């Protein structure tokens, strides 16, 4: 098949950008620049990896939940995260890449997942802090992504955001019960806020000036708001929530700025951020070991499922047993 000439590609790219500027949704069968496709595969697959690996920190507390009610709620939440991963892998596959390939990239360490999931869950209060802060930050990011230019991604986000709001509420309820409990419970809640606050701010990525992808992602409306804009929105909403709990956000520079109409806040430890991205966080090795073990143990199930699907395909296309 003749490849389009440079002129033709330039015209296609111009027409594509005009569609983006007209707020049209790009669908799987539409022409798109390869760089747009590759950027989406990168971000969407890492989003899916994050959902699946994100089950591990909270999953450790399912058998240790303090009541049957808490166990049932946590089970439902962790199960939701698995489903979010499946929605996002399915949406990524519409770009012409297989789930197997994406999983291989994760297990080989060439694909990332959210840095936040490389921190340990030391107490039950961590389950509350994750729901309140981590899912809270995820919602700020994902509500923005509901307007992303790629149709399957935007539609996956709408469904995921509905479930995330339950995740935040259950987490904030845990923190409320602890903050109103005994002195020991209040101390446990404050300790969890101290440990999860700054890693949560890292979820929004590097500063816009240091972001490798934001320029193109914003032009293509993959991203509708910048890393720093979403981080600021999260900080602004969290301050009153922490005050209601009677807990102190661990940032001495946190202060309302009338001129900016936002909270000023301190600088993130970007050396820590880069170390975690380089695999040197507190739990990187543990998380990857668990993910590799799960992948190995489920190999036979995938094989059987694919063999059955192929048998069914042959039977339905030839009308005979294979």
Closest CA relative to residue 43, chosen from 148, 118, 173 = 148
Question: Regarding beta strands 255-257 and 262-264, do their DSSP bridges make them parallel or antiparallel, or are they unpaired?
Answer: antiparallel
Binding positions for ligand 3HC, rule: CB under 6 A: 42-43, 46-47, 50-51, 54, 81, 84, 112, 114-115, 134-135, 138, 141, 164, 202-206, 211-214, 217, 227, 277
Distance of closest approach, residue 174 Cβ to ligand 3HC, in angstroms = 15
Structure tokens at 46: 């890492």
Of 76 and 302, CB closest to ligand 3HC: 76
Of 71 and 213, CB closest to ligand 3HC: 213
Distance of closest approach, residue 317 Cβ to ligand 3HC, in angstroms = 39
Closest CA relative to residue 277, chosen from 115, 85, 90 = 115
Of 105 and 190, CB closest to ligand 3HC: 105
Distance of closest approach, residue 213 Cβ to ligand 3HC, in angstroms = 3
Distance of closest approach, residue 92 Cβ to ligand 3HC, in angstroms = 12
Of 17 and 144, CB closest to ligand 3HC: 144
Distance of closest approach, residue 272 Cβ to ligand 3HC, in angstroms = 11
Distance of closest approach, residue 29 Cβ to ligand 3HC, in angstroms = 24
Q: Are 159 and 165 in contact (CB under 8 A)?
A: no
Name the 3-class secondary structure at 275.
Answer: helix
Of 16 and 273, CB closest to ligand 3HC: 273
Of 14 and 34, CB closest to ligand 3HC: 34
Closest CA relative to residue 116, chosen from 278, 246, 263, 284 = 284
Structure tokens at 183: 């002195």
CA distances from 9 to 34, 174, 221, 261 (A): 11, 54, 20, 45
Question: What is the sign, positive or negative, of the torsion defined by CA atoms of 57, 59, 63, 67?
Answer: positive
Structure tokens at 170: 């259950």
- Which DSSP helix (H) or strand (E) runs through 263? strand 262-264
Of 139 and 310, CB closest to ligand 3HC: 139
Distance of closest approach, residue 306 Cβ to ligand 3HC, in angstroms = 28
DSSP 179-193: HTS-HHHHHHHHHHH
């Amino acid at each position: 098949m003749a490849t389009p000439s440079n002129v033709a590609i330039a015209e296609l790219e111009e027409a594509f950008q005009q569609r983006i500027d007209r707020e049209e949704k790009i669908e799987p069968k539409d022409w798109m620049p390869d760089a747009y496709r590759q950027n989406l595969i990168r971000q969407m697959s890492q989003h899916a990896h994050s959902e699946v690996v994100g089950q591990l920190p909270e999953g450790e507390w399912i058998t240790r939940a303090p009541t049957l009610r808490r166990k049932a709620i946590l089970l439902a939440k962790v199960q939701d995260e698995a489903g979010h991963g499946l929605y996002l892998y399915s949406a990524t596959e519409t770009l012409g890449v297989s789930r197997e390939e994406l999983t291989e990239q994760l297990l080989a360490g060439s694909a990332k997942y959210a840095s936040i999931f490389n921190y340990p869950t030391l107490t039950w209060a961590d389950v509350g802090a994750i729901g309140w802060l981590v899912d809270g930050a995820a919602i700020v990011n994902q509500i923005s992504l509901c307007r992303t230019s790629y149709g399957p991604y935007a539609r996956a986000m709408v469904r995921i955001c509905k479930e995330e709001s339950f995740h935040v509420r259950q987490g904030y309820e845990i923190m409320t019960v602890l903050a109103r409990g005994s002195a020991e419970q209040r101390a446990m809640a404050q300790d969890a806020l101290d440990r999860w606050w700054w890693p949560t701010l890292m979820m929004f990525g590097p500063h816009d000036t240091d972001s490798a992808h934001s320029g193109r992602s914003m032009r293509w409306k993959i991203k509708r708001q910048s890393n720093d804009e979403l981080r600021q929105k999260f900080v602004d909403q969290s301050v009153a929530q922490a005050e209601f709990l009677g807990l102190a956000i661990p940032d001495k520079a946190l202060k309302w700025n009338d001129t900016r109409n936002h909270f000023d806040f301190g600088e993130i430890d970007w050396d820590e951020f880069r170390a975690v991205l380089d695999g040197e966080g507190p739990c990187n090795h543990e998380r990857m070991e668990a993910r590799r073990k799960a992948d190995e143990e489920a190999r036979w199930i995938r094989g059987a499922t694919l063999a059955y699907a192929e048998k069914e395909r042959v039977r339905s296309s030839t009308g005979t047993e294979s």
